[in-house]
Copies of this chain bind each other. A is one copy, B any other.
Amino acid sequence: MKTEVRRLRKVEPRAPVLVEGLPGMAFVGRLAVGYLVEALKAEKIAELYSPHFPYYIIVDAEGRIRLPKGEFYYWRNPDDGPDLVMLVGDSQAQTNEGQYEVASCVLDFARELGVRTIITVGGYRSFEDRSRVICASTSRKLLVKAIEAGAVISPEGSPIVGIAGLLLGLTSFTEMEALCLLGETRGHLPDPRAAKNVLRVLSKLLGIEVDLAGLDKSIKEAARIEEMISRIDISGLLEGGPAEGPGYIV
């Protein structure tokens, strides 16, 4: 078995933007892009499988199973703005080489679809309670657009770890340009608030209207859990990831 994209449906997007949101730091990317897929009623056009994804299957409520995978959704923009291809999924690759292989495979498929611009979405670990959206890009022009839409430039020297970073890094070998949008998060738990912050910037940047109110219930629930945890003081246990430094990012 190789890392590969299996197309489910032939589409002809018009120079689309690829928006990536695989699970990572505080599930910000997964939550944000997953919400976008639903809000836009995008349709699934392809799946990505890899032997670098975890070696288990996932069971649903009806006892049906599936491998961990990435899913590509397509949304045809009814207005003037760009079409979107959105990548969500269950997992990132489990090894160093696997990360490069999966990211390369995504880029190959993006090229096939005629993608010109890639936007990756993730979380940015912050030790204060902040709501900024951090950005970095392969293109000055794209970076300026992100800043105009409300993002701030990433602190210097912060590594952007995983597929959200590699997709940017590997576009330098292609004609594509890429941008990373990272929502600040404490990083303890899935963070729908950070996801909403990113979506605000993203929708403005793309000129697409998306009603973000649907995230508010999850935000309240997450805040409630966070508050419970802070009272029983096990936040230290939940930190995980790098133990120090201002900004390791997934």
A96's partner among B94, B101, B138, B140 (CB-CB below 8 A) is B94
Contact call B63/A136, Cβ cutoff below 8 A: yes
Please encode chain A, from 44 to 82, with 1 for each CB lying within 8 Å of some chain B CB and 0 for all others. 000000011011111111111111000000000000000
Question: Which residues from chain B contact A162 at a C-beta distance below 8 Å?
Answer: 55-56
Contact call A153/B63, Cβ cutoff below 8 A: yes
Interface residues of A in 81-114 (CB under 8 A from B): 94-101, 104
Interface residues of A in 29-53 (CB under 8 A from B): 51-52
Closest residue of B by beta carbon distance from A165: B57
Please encode chain A, from 138 to 170, with 1 for each CB lying within 8 Å of some chain B CB and 0 for all others. 101001000000000111111111100110111
Q: Report which residue of A57, A65, A66 has the largest number of chain B beta carbons within 10 angstroms of its beta carbon.
A: A57
A135 located at the interface, meaning its Cβ lies under 8 Å from any Cβ of chain B in the complex: yes
Contact call B96/A52, Cβ cutoff below 8 A: yes
A238 located at the interface, meaning its Cβ lies under 8 Å from any Cβ of chain B in the complex: no
List the number of copies, as a whole number. 4
Question: Which residues from chain B contact A58 at a C-beta distance below 8 Å?
Answer: 157, 159
Contact call A67/B159, Cβ cutoff below 8 A: no
Closest residue of B by beta carbon distance from A146: B63
Contact call B64/A137, Cβ cutoff below 8 A: yes
Contact call A136/B170, Cβ cutoff below 8 A: no
Give Cα A168–Cα B58 distance, bound, in whole angstroms: 10
Q: How far is the CB of A89 from chain B (nearest CB, A)?
A: 14
A1 located at the interface, meaning its Cβ lies under 8 Å from any Cβ of chain B in the complex: yes
Give Cα A64–Cα B146 distance, bound, in whole angstroms: 13
A172 located at the interface, meaning its Cβ lies under 8 Å from any Cβ of chain B in the complex: yes
Contacts A1-B101, A58-B157, A59-B160 supplied; 7 other A-B pairs, CB < 8 Å: A1-B104, A55-B162, A57-B166, A57-B168, A62-B143, A63-B136, A67-B169
Among all A-B residue pairs, the 10 with the closest Cβ atoms: A51-B100, A67-B169, A55-B99, A57-B165, A63-B153, A56-B159, A57-B169, A56-B161, A61-B156, A59-B154
Which residues in A have some Cβ–Cβ distance to B below 8 Å? 1, 6, 51-52, 54-67, 94-101, 104, 135-138, 140, 143, 153-162, 165-166, 168-170, 172-173, 180
